[in-house]
Amino acid sequence: MTTDTNAPFRCGYIAIVGRPNVGKSTLMNTLIGAKVSITSRKAQTTRHRITGIQTYDDAQLIYVDTPGFQTRHANALNKTLNKTVTNTLISSDLILFVIEAGTFGPADQQVLDLLPTEVPVLLVINKADRVKDKAVLLPFAQQVAAKFNFAAIVPVSAKLRFQLDGLEKEIKRFLPENEPIFGPDDITDRSEKFLASEIVREKLFRFVGDELPYTSTVMIEKFEQEGDLRRVFAAILVERDTHKSMIIGNKGARLKEVSTQARLDMEKLFGGPVYLEIWVKVKSGWADNEAGLRAYGYE
């Protein structure tokens, strides 16, 4: 890539928003090139604010992944999530509003209604690979563009890496002139402990799937490092005994699969051997209890 050496360095925070399942985590992971945010077929898997960092000669792009807007259940957990999203948006330099090509429904509109007007918003039309007839993309884009004063519109495919260079070029245009905030090799400001919990959670969603109530959560009770070896002790908190047996599976087969796959991912990400122990614990009613949420880090 050629860069104009006289151009000032740009650096800023980019919030990624959109209804659940439009591909926000996939987009961020593809842009960053490392697996820092979990992805799953099941909606509402992302609970924590995650930053992914990409540094170029001329710019540093700091991504903030936001949880899907929660509309179905108005319990304490969801209220906490929506407040986090609003705070993230106002303190960003740029917002990527992600939608799915060819689809714009009430859930998308709901997110759009919450976007602040003082921060520039790029309309990112993801999953463009799913649209066979590319000619229909333009009228669709125009139809959505009429709903908001977008700074620019970019169709992409996060999965097939289509048009991501174009998206980055647009993003850089909207970042303020600033010195880099993070080191050139940093990809996330999240601790290994946090990443370990995200990996376990991803495997849970993958192997337990739709049977798993979204109120279950993962807590890392102990994270130790001795030379290259990491020892990770994780607890999966569920609300009922039936959820517990669902996760453990027949003769413990499911939990074993979750554990093995999570360990392999951790070894890849941390670059060394991992000893992983996972326990499933019943913790009734935690999702409705705000003090309980704070205890597990959902501030």
Residue 186's SS3 state is coil
Name residue 232's amino acid.
V
Determine whether the annotation assigns residue 20 to a binding site.
yes
| Residue 54, both tokens | 């990409």
Q: Is 222 exposed, middle or buried (0-12, 13-18, 19+ CB in 10 A)?
A: exposed
Name the residue nearer to ligand GTP (CB basis): 159 or 240. Answer: 159
Does 78 participate in binding ligand GTP (rule CB under 6 A)?
no
Distances (CA, A) of 146 to 46, 139, 142, 256: 29, 11, 6, 51
Q: Which single residue is written with the structure tokens 């060819």? A: 102
Name the residue nearer to ligand GTP (CB basis): 52 or 244. Answer: 52
Determine whether the annotation assigns residue 65 to a binding site.
yes
Nearest-approach distance from CB 45 to ligand GTP, in angstroms:
4
Determine whether the annotation assigns residue 19 to a binding site.
yes
Does 46 participate in binding ligand GTP (rule CB under 6 A)?
yes
Do 254 and 248 meet the contact criterion of CB atoms below 8 Å apart? yes
CA 280 to chain centre: 24
Residue 44 zone, left/alpha/beta (φ > 0; ψ -120 to 50; rest): left
Determine whether the annotation assigns residue 131 to a binding site.
no
Determine whether the annotation assigns residue 25 to a binding site.
yes
Q: Binder to ligand GTP among 9, 26, 240, 261 (CB under 6 A)?
A: 26
Nearest-approach distance from CB 225 to ligand GTP, in angstroms:
29
> CA 4 to CA 134: how far, in whole Å?
33
Helix (H) or strand (E) holding 59: strand 59-65
Does 20 participate in binding ligand GTP (rule CB under 6 A)?
yes
Name the residue nearer to ligand GTP (CB basis): 35 or 172. Answer: 35
Nearest-approach distance from CB 154 to ligand GTP, in angstroms:
12
Does 240 participate in binding ligand GTP (rule CB under 6 A)?
no
Nearest-approach distance from CB 298 to ligand GTP, in angstroms:
15
Determine whether the annotation assigns residue 102 to a binding site.
no
Does 163 participate in binding ligand GTP (rule CB under 6 A)?
no
Nearest-approach distance from CB 189 to ligand GTP, in angstroms:
19
Neighbouring residues of 88: CB distance < 8 A, sequence distance ≥ 6: 15, 49, 64, 66
| Half-sphere exposure of residue 164: CA atoms within 13 angstroms, side-chain side | 16
Name the residue nearer to ligand GTP (CB basis): 22 or 196. Answer: 22
Q: Which residues are annotated as a binding site for GTP?
A: 18-25, 65-69, 126-129
Applying CB under 6 A, the residues found at the interface with ligand GTP are: 18, 20-26, 39-41, 43-46, 68, 126-127, 129-130, 157-159
